[in-house]
C-alpha cells in the first residue's frame, strides 16, 4: 500500500519491542515509522517505578523522530505498533494524539483491522489547526 514496506516497519517495531523496559506491566510494546525524509525510526515503552510517568512506545518513537538525522519538521508517513506477541497493537488514546500531531490525517497506521489512515483511527481530532482558527 502506497509504496510502504510494511514488513520493514513490522520488523523494526518487533526489534524495538524486544528492547522495552516494562518490568511493572510485563507488557512490552514496540513502534516503528517511516519518516518523510526516508528514515525508519523506532521506540519502545520505558516504564518507571512511579507508574504514571512511564513512556509509551509511541512517545519514544516521536522522540526519535526528532533524534539523529532529523532536520526541519520531519513527518510520520507510516507507523507500525506491536505488542509482546509481535502482532499489531492499537495505540492508546494519548498516543493517537501524538501520532496525529506528527503525521496528520493521512498518516498510515497498521491496525488490528489492516492499514488505515489516522483520520479513521482518531476521527474528529483536535490538532494544530484548531489553535490557528
For residues 91 and 118, the answer to whether their CB atoms sit within 8 Å is no
CA neighbours within 13 Å on the CB side: how many for 120? 12
Residues 81-100 contacting ligand THU, CB under 6 A? 91-92, 95
The helix or strand, by DSSP H or E, that contains position 95, with its residue range, turns out to be helix 93-103
Question: What are the residue numbers of the active site?
Answer: 58
Which one of residues 17, 45, 74, 78 is an interface residue with ligand THU (CB under 6 A)? 45
Number of chain positions touching ligand THU (CB under 6 A)? 13
Cell 506477541 -> residue: 85
From the CB of 38, what's the least distance to ligand THU, in Å? Answer: 25
CA neighbours within 13 Å on the CB side: how many for 30? 20
From the CB of 42, what's the least distance to ligand THU, in Å? Answer: 12
From the CB of 8, what's the least distance to ligand THU, in Å? Answer: 20
Nearer of residues 27 and 126 to ligand THU, judged by Cβ: 27
**Interatomic CA distance for residues 102 and 18, integer angstroms:** 25
Which parts of this chain interact with ligand THU (CB under 6 A)?
Answer: 22, 25, 27, 29, 45, 47, 54, 56-58, 91-92, 95
Amino acid at each position: 500500500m502506497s509504496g510502504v514496506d510494511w514488513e520493514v516497519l513490522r520488523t523494526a517495531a518487533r526489534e524495538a519491542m524486544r528492547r522495552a523496559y516494562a518490568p511493572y506491566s510485563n507488557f512490552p510494546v514496540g513502534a516503528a515509522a517511516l519518516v518523510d525524509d526516508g528514515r525508519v525510526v523506532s521506540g519502545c515503552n520505558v516504564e518507571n517505578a512511579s507508574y504514571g510517568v512511564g513512556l509509551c512506545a509511541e512517545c519514544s518513537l516521536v522522540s526519535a523522530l526528532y533524534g539523529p538525522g532529523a532536520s526541519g519538521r520531519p513527518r510520520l508517513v507510516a507507523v507500525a505498533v506491536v505488542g509482546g506477541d509481535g502482532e499489531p497493537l492499537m495505540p492508546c488514546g494519548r498516543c493517537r494524539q501524538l501520532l496525529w500531531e506528527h503525521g496528520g490525517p493521512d498518516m498510515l497506521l497498521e491496525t488490528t483491522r489492516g492499514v488505515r489512515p489516522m483520520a479513521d483511527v482518531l476521527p474528529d481530532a483536535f490538532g494544530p489547526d484548531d489553535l490557528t482558527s
